[in-house]
Structure 1
Amino acid sequence: MKAYIFPGQGAQFTGMGQDLYNSSEEARTLFHQANDILGFDIAKIMFEGTAEDLKETKVTQPAIFLHSVILSKVLGDSFQPDMVAGHSLGEFSALVANGTLEFEDALRLVHKRALAMQEACEINPSTMAAVLGLEDDVVEEVCKNIDGVVVPANYNCPGQLVISGSHEAVEKACEALKEKGAKRALLLPVGGAFHSPLMEPAREKLAKAIESTRFNTPKCPVYQNVTTTAVSDPEDIKTNLMKQLTAPVKWTQTMKQMLADGATDFTEVGPGKVLQGLLRKVDRQVNAESISGL
């Protein structure tokens, strides 16, 4: 069974998508459509912008989404997923890939998501940290015992978990985790505490937009960040997507579930090869490739 997976924030790079634009009429049409929907020339920023330009949340999220989705569309008949999943933002790309969301609707949601997350970061200054070399349950227990808001946010692969919360609580947790034997507990250069309760203002705004968007019956199941299991009912997909901003990304568990459900070939579609690397930490023997251009 063929599984397609889609990257999230952090995978962007200068010049992303330029080859797609140059080599495909369909890609050019979709980029122009995206510029109209967003109200600014995102294609120009993707192709010519600096790394700093691309790091701005309102640019980063639609840029990664566009790269992944346009690439999956121009792959044509060779793109035949039996199951899909996306890491955080990547879940929106996955939902276009399996037909749950139309391209335009998904892009509008991604744009609203980026703006809402940016606003939430300004309301509650906060941060995230990568923790390496500890079992998940140890990290969970340490977070529980810290005063303030700090929670597991991204279960990326065995031995790699990202925590999220207020600056003070995350810093205290990092010290406690080092004492527990973490190889590293490192603050990340991010704008806020994604996938934590501090994203509640963003969740509320995005939930309203999701509620008013049409969700179709998908062509194949999506393995969602919140549940880790195969989901095909449009209403269930919608509910899970609403929860995503304040709930952890259970990527390790999702990859294990896809393998258990019969996935034999994984293809990462979009910028970078991060997910392919994480997948190999789950199963070294897995058949995985990355496609980032034509």
Structure 2
Amino acid sequence: MTKTAVLFPSQMNIDPNEYRALFDQVPIMQNRFAEASQILGFDLVEAFFSDDLDEVNRGIVARPAIVSISAALYEWAQDYIPSPSYLAGLSLGQLTAAHISGALTFSDLVRMTYTMASLEEKHFADKDYGVHFFYNIDIDKLLGVMEEMESKGHYLKACAYTASNQMIVCGSLSSMGELNLRVLELGGIGVEIPYGPPAHCPLMEAVKREFSRNWYYADDVKKPKIPLICNISTKVLDHPNKICNALIEQYTMTVKWTQTIEKMAALGVKRLVIIGPGNFIYKSLGFIPVSFEVECYLGLHDMLEKSAARRMSE
């Protein structure tokens, strides 16, 4: 049997009502949002489907919504995909993967996403930082420019290696502005990532400490039924303690997404299934030097297409 891995997405910028049609037509998603609303103590449907772009993309709203959508899509897609050999997620997606593995309950998943976002909002309100996605750039050259700039007093840190020619970087606003100019000179392009704190870098140390002190699991963390690939070390996580530690440590450590995908290939994975909102993971795979069969469940279109294909085959 072909080895399959399922991948889950990070937080991304979402337009108001972008997933309304999916919500209206998929009872599983309605159930997940209802459950999440009860856990959070506010109406996630009303907040996430607001016409206010800023409200929709606040971490305390967007993250519980994204993991709810991803969990619902996975539940629906189980009729169409084989049981995966591995799971992994990019940033926020690693929390979703931990839930799908059976390690975290949905309740703790939602609580964790909300708690993390709340702490980040408190610590980074009106702070002088920026997060940018750089692409079409030689990573070694980009790292060299960053090292040079840091030696001159700039603050720049790698958040995530997302492909062979792509990287997410955070830093002070002035440093990010100058880095963008330097990247243009090298033929690359930088795009600001709105609504995101400076994740996966030392700036998160205070948030990580506070989260570690105050967080508790309402339910027991269990041994995963499906092993996870750690997105910061690429190690296989098959024990509750290892999963709990990795979810916290990714706060201050660079995500090695490119290396995570390469590790899957080394483990014999031939097929990747991407489940959850956005198409960033799918696009990034085109710039990672390994080849897989890829299938996506990103939203309503994919669900309708797959359902229609099954009806025709029957």
Letter in 1 for 2:34: H
Map of 1:207 onto structure 2: 212
Compared CA separation, residues 231 and 44, structure 1 to 2 (3 A): same
Q: 1:207 Cα deviation (Å)?
A: 2.5
| Pair 1:233 & 2:239 matched | yes
1:170-229 CA deviation, whole Å, 9 max, x = no partner?
Answer: 2233334444x1422344334432222222222223323556463211112111221122
Map of 2:104 onto structure 1: 101
Q: Rg: which structure is higher?
A: 2
Compared CA separation, residues 53 and 182, structure 1 to 2 (3 A): same
Compared CA separation, residues 283 and 68, structure 1 to 2 (3 A): same
Compared CA separation, residues 75 and 178, structure 1 to 2 (3 A): closer
Instruction: Compute the TM-score of the two structures, normalised by the length of structure 2.
Output: 0.84
Letter in 1 for 2:143: E
Structure 2 Cα separation of the partners of residues 104 and 56 of structure 1: 20
State how 1:128-139 maps to structure 2 within 5 Å.
128-139=131-142
Which one of the candidate residues 91, 95, 105 is aligned to 1:92?
Answer: 95
1:17–1:46 Cα contact (<8 Å) kept: no
1:81-136 CA deviation, whole Å, 9 max, x = no partner?
Answer: 21111111111111111111010011100100111121222273311122223332
Structure 2 Cα separation of the partners of residues 20 and 164 of structure 1: 33
2:13–2:194 Cα contact (<8 Å) kept: no
1:226–1:249 Cα contact (<8 Å) kept: yes
Compared CA separation, residues 56 and 253, structure 1 to 2 (3 A): same
Q: 1:284 Cα deviation (Å)?
A: 7.0
Which one of the candidate residues 271, 276, 281 is aligned to 1:270?
Answer: 276
1:129–1:163 Cα contact (<8 Å) kept: yes
Letter in 2 for 1:66: S
1:212-248 CA deviation, whole Å, 9 max, x = no partner?
Answer: 4632111121112211222112211111111112211
Map of 1:287 onto structure 2: 293
State how 1:46-195 maps to structure 2 within 5 Å.
46-47=48-49, 49-78=51-80, 80-122=83-125, 124-145=127-148, 146=150, 147-179=153-185, 181-195=186-200
Q: 1:49 Cα deviation (Å)?
A: 4.0
Choose 28-37 or 44-53, whichever is displaced more: 44-53
2:73–2:275 Cα contact (<8 Å) kept: yes
Structure 2 Cα separation of the partners of residues 242 and 123 of structure 1: 24
1:17-60 CA deviation, whole Å, 9 max, x = no partner?
Answer: 65356443x54333212111112111233345454432222111
Structure 2 Cα separation of the partners of residues 84 and 21 of structure 1: 28
Instruction: Compute the TM-score of the two structures, normalised by the length of structure 1.
Output: 0.89
Number of residue pairs aligned between Structure 1 and Structure 2: 292
Which one of the candidate residues 19, 29, 32 is aligned to 1:30?
Answer: 32
> Alignment partner of 2:251: what SS?
helix
1:15–1:48 Cα contact (<8 Å) kept: no
Q: 1:157 Cα deviation (Å)?
A: 0.9
- Cα RMSD over matched residues? 2.3
| Pair 1:5 & 2:36 matched | no
Structure 1 Cα separation of the partners of residues 49 and 125 of structure 2: 28
Structure 1 Cα separation of the partners of residues 290 and 53 of structure 2: 32
Letter in 1 for 2:159: A
Compared CA separation, residues 190 and 28, structure 1 to 2 (3 A): closer
Map of 1:252 onto structure 2: 258
> Alignment partner of 1:225: what SS?
coil
Structure 1 Cα separation of the partners of residues 26 and 11 of structure 2: 25
